[in-house]
Structure 1
Amino acid sequence: MTVRVLIVDDQVLMREGLRKLLELEPGIEVVGEAADGVAALDLLDAARPDVVLVDARMPRMDGIELIARLDVPAIILTTFDDDDYIFGGLRAGARGYLLKDTPPHELVAAIRKAARGETVLGGVAAERVVAELRRAPAARDPGQELSEREREVAVLVGQGATNREIARRLFITEGTVKNHISSILRKLRLRDRTQLAIHIARSS
């Protein structure tokens, strides 16, 4: 399936660079460019994107306000690593948060994951989410807080990692990962790992 991408950034060179990069990737089509949120909204009906790449700070309408108005997956791609942008974007509904120094192959992978409904957090954003989870109870039920290991698993799920990848990174078995995820879902009263990924991304 071809993933249709709309690029929203106020820097012309950035838009052109992203277009050239993505046009080299099979299965990805750039269907439009916009310099701000207002222009992006005007393009939506004609462009019909599957994923929108959005800068956080732009004139007229910034990325966070734009994302709050979108009904398609959006990834924030920006130079800013401020908590206000990270958590503001995730609360608005962003599927991902990446910095502009993200390697091209990671950006492409993030676009494909977002198109599948997965959540992707770059290194800085993931670290901030982990720190926030450690400062405050992650569970909806105050009597059912997650253990340290469960929080580690939850954050990796939020990054889009598979059970096998989680097992390898935490040096545990896939069966143990499945048990942790089942426990996390029960404590947070969530239905599946997609809901968990969204919950972790929006936690603050």
Structure 2
Amino acid sequence: MSIKVLIADDDSLIRESLKIILGMDEEFEVVSCVDDGLKAVNYCLKYNIDVALVDVRMPVMNGVQAAKEICRKTATKVLILTTFDDDEYIIDVIKSGAKGYLLKNNSPEKIKNAIKMVYEGNSVVQDVVLDKIKEGLGKDKSVKIDTSLFTRREIEIMDLISKGLSNKEIADKLYISEGTVKNYITSILDKTGLQHRTQIAIYYLNGGE
């Protein structure tokens, strides 16, 4: 079964290019292309879309607002495709519930792999984007994580997630199984009300805010 994809971008060249790239792969079905955020939201409300590729800067409703509405009202997973010019939106996008944040200058294969990862329930944030998050957060922060809310091990895991380590890398570093790492992450998500590990990284870097 192919992954049903919606493309939302006000640049017609980007829309058509993505449509051609994905259309050549039988793993994907581009159901529709729209040119503003409101149309993306309305389409996802009306039809069953697996993954919405959403640009940040769009007329009528921008990608951050659209991502919030889509994530809140539908089962569609959102993958943001953007440029470095939009880096001021990074935190808002991650908080919106979007599962991924990817730059448009990536290769077609990387974009396709990101769509598949998001479809499978994983979060995807490009290393350079995560670096920008780290640069913007954690500076001059006097707020510390509430140690009464988390165990020492949970705080260790949040710290390692914020450094970009995968579950396997965390497991190897702490000499525990990947399953145990996943259990700790589930506990952290339950305690914070966050949705995925990228939000955990921002939460930790922002001192629990």
TM-score interval for Structure 1 and Structure 2 normalised by the shorter chain: 0.7 to 0.9
Kept in 1: contact 2:103–2:126 (CA 8 A):
yes
Amino acid at match of 1:197: R
After superposition, the Cα gap between the structure-2 partners of 1:178 and 1:78, relative to the gap in structure 1 and judged at 3 Å, is same
- The residue aligned with 1:111 is 115
- The residue aligned with 1:199 is 199
Q: CA RMSD in A?
A: 3.4
- The residue aligned with 1:65 is 65
- The residue aligned with 1:33 is 33
* In 1: Cα distance, 2:146 partner to 2:26 partner: 42
Q: 1:133-161 CA deviation, whole Å, 9 max, x = no partner?
A: 755578453675634x762345546xxx4
Is 1:152 aligned to 2:160, yes or no?
Answer: yes
- The residue aligned with 1:122 is 126
Gaps of at least 5 residues in structure 2 are none
The alpha carbon displacement at 1:42 in A equals 3.2
TM-score between both structures, scaled by the size of structure 2: 0.74
* In 2: Cα distance, 1:177 partner to 1:151 partner: 17
TM-score between both structures, scaled by the size of structure 1: 0.76
After superposition, the Cα gap between the structure-2 partners of 1:62 and 1:52, relative to the gap in structure 1 and judged at 3 Å, is same
Kept in 2: contact 1:140–1:188 (CA 8 A):
no
Kept in 1: contact 2:161–2:200 (CA 8 A):
no
* In 1: Cα distance, 2:121 partner to 2:77 partner: 7
SS at match of 1:102: coil
After superposition, the Cα gap between the structure-2 partners of 1:6 and 1:189, relative to the gap in structure 1 and judged at 3 Å, is closer
After superposition, the Cα gap between the structure-2 partners of 1:94 and 1:143, relative to the gap in structure 1 and judged at 3 Å, is closer
* In 2: Cα distance, 1:47 partner to 1:186 partner: 30
Gaps of at least 5 residues in structure 1 are none
Kept in 1: contact 2:52–2:79 (CA 8 A):
yes
Amino acid at match of 1:20: I
Kept in 2: contact 1:81–1:99 (CA 8 A):
no
Kept in 2: contact 1:73–1:94 (CA 8 A):
yes
Q: 1:11-62 CA deviation, whole Å, 9 max, x = no partner?
A: 0000000011111223111000000012223322554210000000011110
- The residue aligned with 2:53 is 53
- The residue aligned with 1:44 is 44
Q: 1:95-151 CA deviation, whole Å, 9 max, x = no partner?
A: 00011112221111110111122110012222234446755578453675634x762
Q: How many pairs were matched up? A: 193
- The residue aligned with 2:4 is 4
Aligned equivalent of 1:80, options 75, 80, 84: 84
The alpha carbon displacement at 1:186 in A equals 8.6
